[in-house]
Amino acid sequence: MENLIEAPSEVRLIEESAACGMTSCDESAAIALRSRPLCVRHFIPVCIQEIESRGERLKNGLYDEAATLAFKNFISACAEQASRFIQDDSLTDGSTKSSLEGFLRRVSQSGQRLRRSPRLSSSVPIFLRREDSGRTWEEETWTITVSQHGASLVCRHPVETGGALVLSRRDRANRVQARVVYCRYNSEGWREIGVELLDRDDFWGLSQAPRIQPSVQPA
């Protein structure tokens, strides 16, 4: 579009007057999302839909460094423009500003959930332990996938998102602090949790070998 000024990634501010591209909307466009002109009000849901769609594809597909970087840039550009709208004195609608602030919080969470490294399917035997006063427990389990910064694994005890756990490898004397990032039941009926490793680099030895040799899963 000729009336767009340069901005990073696929999110561009509109310099001159243009109509919002959403059906039945008579408001002026303030931004173009992938060349689609949008008013501030419609920018939020359209951007959220785009972020969730692209995030789901990255989550379910093989790790793609280029696609992940492009997605991070897209999130950053959306957050930058939302911040500009909030600081714009001409935007006097308190409800819209509140929606933009909520959008910024949601965008931040989407960025934090991005994988930072490839996942490998690998069954590594571990001890999983919760060290909390009154609710300490330990179990023997195994990983489903591992990555440089985390893992998914089977867990028989209930856990909460954000909760702290300790992982100890049963084949080595290694321990690492971890934070729960999700908890769900997988297709085989196991409780599966995802954890982010907090205080140890290369816990799985991924820099030393192209792939961890899988071991037999315990019954």
36 & 89 share domain? yes
Domain of residue 149: give its range: 120-197
Q: Do residues 135 and 42 both lie within one domain? A: no
Same domain, 107 and 144: no
pLDDT computed for residue 116 by the predictor: 53
Same domain as 105, residue 136: no
Q: How many angstroms separate the CA atoms of 149 and 170, rounded?
A: 19
Q: What is the mean pLDDT of each run of 10 residues along the chain (219 residues)?
A: 43 80 88 86 87 75 64 81 83 83 77 55 88 85 86 90 90 87 82 86 68 41
* CA–CA separation, 146 and 149 (whole Å): 8
User: 132 in a domain, yes or no?
Assistant: yes
The answer to whether residues 189 and 178 touch, using CB atoms and an 8 Å cutoff, is no
pLDDT score recorded for residue 150: 85
pTM score: 0.47
Q: For residue 87, what pLDDT is reported?
A: 83
Residue-level pLDDT at 129? 94
Is 63 exposed, middle or buried (CB count within 10 Å of its CB: 0-12, 13-18, 19+)? middle
Residue 129 domain flag: yes
Are 139 and 90 within one domain?
no
Does any domain span residue 26?
Answer: yes
pLDDT of the residue at 93: 80
pLDDT of res. 33 = 85
Residue 37 and residue 108 share a domain? yes
108 & 134 share domain: no
User: Can you tell me the distance from the alpha carbon of 37 to that of 216, in angstroms, rounded to the nearest whole number?
Assistant: 54
Say if 208 falls within a structural domain. Answer: no
The domain total for the chain is 2
